[in-house]
Structures are given as C-alpha cells and as structure tokens.
Structure 1
Amino acid sequence: MEPSKTSELKLNHYPLTPLRLLRGFACLTVYLSTAFMFLVYFSPVFAAFLRLFSIHYSRKSSSFLFGLWLALWPFLFEKINKTKVVFSGERVPEKERVLLIANHRTEVDWMYLWDLALRKGCLGCIKYVLKSSLMKLPVFGWGFHVFEFISVERKWEVDENIMRKMLLTFTDPLDPLWLAVFPEGTDFTEQKCIKGQRYAVENGLPVLNNVLLPKTRGFHACVEILRGSLDAVYDVTIAYKNRCPTFMDNVFGVEPSEVHLHVRRIPLDNIPSLESECNTWLLNTFQLKDKLISDFISHGHFPNEGTEGELSTVKCLVNCIIVIAITSVFSYLAFFSSVWFKVYIVMSCAYLAFATAFNFRPTPIFEYFKSLGRKKSC
C-alpha cells in the first residue's frame, strides 16, 4: 500500500461527540464575548482617539491588543482540538515586515496563517485583503475595519482605487505589517478548477489541477506600492490531511487532523518590477504550488518538514487567562457598575457601526491642519 494511503487510514477525523459539541459552543461563546468587549472598550481609545495624534502608535497599540485576542485561536487549534500543524520549507526570521501570498483551499485557510504569525511575533499585525461582504459580519466586521483589512468587490475597476489608497497608508516601514493576499480570489472547488482549466487552454496558460489561476493585478499593486518598505514576500502553500475543514469543523475540532504549511521566503529583489514580468512570476509561483500539492497528495507531506517548533502550552494558557480576566472585568463594569459604562458601550457600538459602514478612520490632527495649509497655498 502507498504511504499516503496508509497515513490517510490512520488519520481519521475526530467524531462530533456531545463533549466536542459542548466544548465548541463554549469556545465560540468565549471568543465572541472577548472580541466584543475588546472592541467596544479599546477601539475608541486606541483606534480613534490615539489615532488623532499618531497613526503609528495607534497601530502599535491596536496590534498588541489584536494579537492578545487572536492568540486564542492557535490555542484552540493546536492545544484544545489537537490539530497537528506541520511547517516545512524555509524557516523565516521573526518580526519581519512582509507581504504574504497563499493558496485558498477552503474558507478557513486564513486562520492557519495565525499559527505561523504567532511563532514569528507578528500575530497582531496581520491584515487581509478580503471580500467586502465579510465587513457585514456582526462584531467581526467591526474588527476587520478597526484593524485595517482591505475589503474588495473582486472587480478591478472598482477595487483598484480602494486598494491603492489603503496600500499607500501602509508604506511606513516602522508600522508592523503582515499583509496576506490570496491571489486566486476565491476558495478552490472542482467546478472552479475545471472552469479555470478551460480558460487556461483557450488562452495558452498553464493548466493547474490543485490551485486556481491567480489574479495578478492586486498582487502587482501590493508589490509596486510596498516594495520599498517590505523585508520579503512569504509564499505559503497550505494542504490538509483527510478533507478540507469548514469554520464549524474548526470550532468543534472534528477536522482537520493535520494542517501542512510550506513556506518560501522571497527577497523583493527576486520579484520583477515590470507588471508583465511580475505577473509571469506569480503564475510560475502558482505552478510550483500546484506541483507541491500534487506531491503532498502522493507522499502525505511537503519537503523539508519541521522548520517550526510547537507552541508553548504555558504561554497559551497565560494569554487565555489574561484575555478572559480582562473580559470578565469589562463585563462586570458593563452590567453591575455605573450607568456611564453602559453609555460608553452604546456610544462605542454606534461609532464602530458608523465607522465600518462608511469606512471612516480619524485623520491625525497635525496632518489635517497641514492639508488645510496646502489647500490654502494652492
């Protein structure tokens, strides 16, 4: 029997038992309540008020708090659900400022990038290019706005100005940044793959079997605008044992049994500046991804495994206790303390709803007066 088939027989997914069901709902309740309390209490202070004086320090403080909360998820995946996360390829340095590109196997690929970011001390500074409909999610949509994710309609004539405007605000090399882009633009399905293969044959492009043809314009815009402020591009290829998980699979811990992430670090000098050459580079990169996944299917693993160690259980527990303790204090203040805390929460929710709906972020006072001076001089 082939090694891959043997491993698949041994690695069956976990059954959805009543205990897993109860544990999953408990975790989801904790995560939603902590997200809500962190957003409504901290956002007006750090993402609004502090931003009036310094975008840099607003981002630093917001990244710290975001990372504190976001670390709950790798704790869930690796320590509670016992999902094995296997890293391979290159071992990348800590605390670099990077553009990250990945394939999109399923709706939760982006969540497993947190496991890599946590190990590199960059969890709080991760941002995504995501579809605009996700901004309408309750609570989480507010977070996507506060932490400056880039929402797109997946129509370049609409998205170009939005992306370029947002990317230009990320050019300060002192600001922490892990910008994650999924060039395929959507998650992989057999139907989408067949459609993409037909398009490739008609247009003389490579026929891919495990990934979709990448959309190149958004990637080139990221490289073009951020080139002078990035340390590298990380090319991450994601694969799963058994089947691809859904969000609720992650919550209840029934899948995946293993997640494999293959990482390549590419210096910016290795990526062409000319758009046509940059597009070709990206297409070649996805051909490599396609081959890597084919090999993974055949052998059950990526080459050069073991580039990252396991998370510290103690650190994960301490972080979890801190987040829950802060949330407990905030909850007590909201329900049993002065009425002014209730007023603050209501006003904070109103601000977050307004800012998200109208894509509003405060402009620093000094920059505002400078722009007024420039207008008068003109």
Structure 2
Amino acid sequence: MSRSIDDQYLNRYFKGLTIVQLFLGYVFLISGLLVNLIQFLSACFIWPFNRALYRKINYHLATIIWSQLTFVYQWWSNSDIVVYIKPDDLEKLCQENSLWLGNHRYEVDWLLGWVVTQRLGLAGGSKILGKQSLRALPIIGWCWYFTESIFLRRVWSTDKSVLERDIQQLVQDYPKNYNFTLFLSCEGTRYTEEKRLESMKIAREKGLPELQHHILPRTKGFVLIIKGLHKHITAVYDMTVAFQTPKQPELSNLLIGHQCQAEAFIRRIPIAEVPYDDEKKAAEFIHKLFQEKDKTFDYFVQHGTFDGAGNPKAVNLKRKKQDLIIELACLLLIGLPSIYLSIKFLLFASIFTQIIFFIIGIAGIVGIRLMIKTASRPKLPLNSTKEE
C-alpha cells in the first residue's frame, strides 16, 4: 500500500516538474504551429478550388491538435469519463451531422466534449460557436478558424447576419462520410450561483420555471442555427456533464497528472421533433430541454452518478489509443531532435544565453497555459440576457 502511494507521489512529482511541463508545452507549440501553417496553405491554395478536399484535409489536421489535448485528460492524468446513452443513439451518433447542446459548469467541461468525440472518431469535425476574440488564439483559435467554427461579437444586430452566412457556408459541399458536430452552450457563460440567481429574475418575469443548476438559456442563436441546419443534420444531442472527483476540476491539475472522474448523460432528439420554422416554439423547445437537463443534473447531485437516470452505460465507449499514438509521434519527431539540439546549444552557449533560453522556455509554458485557459472560457455568448 505504501509503495503504491510512493509511486503515485513520484508520478505526480515527475509530471509537475518545470522541465517536463516545458518539454510538453514546447512539443505542443511547435506541432500546433506546423499544423496551423499547413491549414493556412490549404486555405490559400485548396479552399478556392475544392472545398470538399479542403475540409477532408483539415479534418485530419484538426485531429492532430485536439488529440494532444485529449491525451492530457485520458493518458497524462489517467482521467476517465463514463457516458450514459442508449445503444441505438450511440450508433447513430457516429454516423450523422449533429448539434450538441451542453452545460457549462466547469473549467474543463469543454475538454470532455473533445474526449467523447475522440472516442467516437469525430474529433476532426468538431466545431464551436464562440466569441470573436477566440479566433486570434494561436494554435487552438486558428484551428477553430480553419475548421469553420463560427465566431460572434455579442452584438445581435451583426451576429445574426454572421450566423446566417457562416451556417450556409458550412453546409455547402461538405464531404460525405466526414461528419461534423457543432457545440453550443445556450447558457452563454460558465455557471456561478450569482449568475443563476440573476437569470432566475428574468425567468420569473417571463413566467418560466426556475432552474436549480443552470443559467436561463438564451434562445435567439439556437433559433437561427436550427433554422439554417435543420436540412443538414439529423439530430440534436443534449449532453449533460458532471464530475464525481474532484468537484471543481481545473486544467492546471490535469497538467500535473491529477486524476478526474466525470460522467456524461447524452440523449438524442431527432430533428423532426425540433421546431425550426416558428421562433416561439423553438424558444419553448430550448427552455423545456433545459428544464429536463436541470432534473437530470439534480439526479446526479442526489445520487453522485447518472446511473439510474434513464440511460444505460455505454460499455464500449472506452478510451482509444489514437491520441496516445499522435502524442508519441509528436514527441519522437519534434521532441527528441529538439532535446539533442538543445543540449548541443547549451553546452556551447554562454551563461547569459542559457539564462535567456530558460526564461523564454518558462514564458512559453505560461503562454500556452493562458492560451488553453482562455479557450476554455465561455465560448458561446450569443447575445446579452437583456436582448432575450
């Protein structure tokens, strides 16, 4: 028993070392920028002539970047997620374009969406609806941009036309057998009790049932999205995630190897059951969905699991080795040659140059962490609550 504890301590100590963090961050930075460069070249020379080919190429390029992030969750920290979904729904999910509606309660719940799509083989086609500033982020934001995620300014008068244009562009000439998943958080911001109470004032004014675990959903963006996508997707997926341990996971803990245990409750809603041509009915649909989502999350709060909430556990949705293989390939192709060159450089460099080298390296780690934390902030601010 004591030996096991010692091994865990040494494992976390190793993963928390600055030099180890520096090495992983460096590999992610170089591989990510190389992928971004190829994406840029494909946008210049392939997109104007063959959009289907461009999307196929970027599907696989995006997988390289997203897999390095899911690697951190699934392999580096040895964290897991148990998914509760009906077998028929799971089978359909792997074969269709879809809109995913999630809750936004945790710092790393965005990462769980990637983990699930990675296990399904759909990570390359994942897209978000995000605030415009995110597309300026190197690597992650640029990858979102090149894979046709949609970015908004939070000003509905201009966002409406952007949504209409980008949705129409997304569905034109999309290649067969390459499915996309568009992530949408109708809450628009990460949950806090203060934000929930503020939004419930509006719920009472509108005569809507109060939510105990969610912020009142914003409906305008959903209404416009479903109107543009209803002919091109076959279902909407309601995904509710929760963490068993720790209760409030942080990205910094994952990076130093702390394990997390999460669960997701996913239900499929056929597109035929989603109103798209009546704004009032579409808004009522999303409010009803969040009332049901609130009950589902309350079940988790009461029982500590989604087991028994209505869906069976997906026994075949285990972690796959794809992201591990991609990470190892990046470490071998970029990391090892860089170690050799760095050692050679440091042996012959002056002390002043060595100090500058380490300062730049540490700054790189801080920069990458800030970049990922920024990407994990509220992605889907469709419009202010007042505009609803």
For this pair of structures, how many residues does the alignment match? 318
* 1:56 aligned partner: 52
Query: What is the Cα deviation at residue 123 of structure 1?
Result: 0.7
Contact 2:97 2:233 in 1 (8 A): yes
* 1:269 aligned partner: 272
Contact 1:99 1:178 in 2 (8 A): yes
Of 256, 259, 262, which residue of structure 2 is paired with 1:259?
262
Q: Aligned equivalents of 2:320 and 2:200: distance in 1? A: 43
- Residue 32 in 1 paired to residue 40 in 2? no
Kindly report which structure 2 residues correspond to 1:209-358, keeping only aligned pairs within 5 A, or say none.
Answer: 209-241=212-244, 242-254=246-258, 257-273=260-276, 274-302=278-306, 303=309, 304-307=311-314, 308-313=316-321, 315-325=322-332, 327=334
Q: Aligned equivalents of 1:163 and 1:325: distance in 2? A: 41
Contact 2:12 2:258 in 1 (8 A): no
* 1:351 aligned partner: none
Contact 2:129 2:149 in 1 (8 A): yes
Secondary structure of 2:47's partner? Answer: helix
Contact 1:16 1:252 in 2 (8 A): no
* 1:344 aligned partner: none
In structure 2, the CA distance between the partners of 1:17 and 1:78, relative to structure 1 (3 Å rule), is closer
- Residue 44 in 1 paired to residue 40 in 2? yes
* 1:353 aligned partner: none
Q: TM-score, normalised by structure 1?
A: 0.77
Deviation string 1:235-270 (CA, Å, 9 cap, x unpaired) is 111111232223323323336x21111111111001
- Residue 18 in 1 paired to residue 22 in 2? no
Aligned-pair Cα RMSD in Å: 2.6
Of 62, 67, 70, which residue of structure 2 is paired with 1:71?
67
The gaps in structure 2 that reach 5 residues or longer are 1-8, 343-388
* 1:341 aligned partner: none
Q: Aligned equivalents of 2:21 and 2:301: distance in 1? A: 30
Of 69, 79, 84, which residue of structure 2 is paired with 1:83?
79
Write the letter of the residue equivalent to 1:312.
K
Contact 2:39 2:61 in 1 (8 A): no
Contact 1:211 1:290 in 2 (8 A): yes
* 1:165 aligned partner: 165
Write the letter of the residue equivalent to 2:25.
L
Secondary structure of 2:258's partner? Answer: coil
Secondary structure of 1:71's partner? Answer: helix
* 2:371 aligned partner: none
Q: Aligned equivalents of 2:242 and 2:173: distance in 1? A: 32
Contact 1:35 1:139 in 2 (8 A): yes
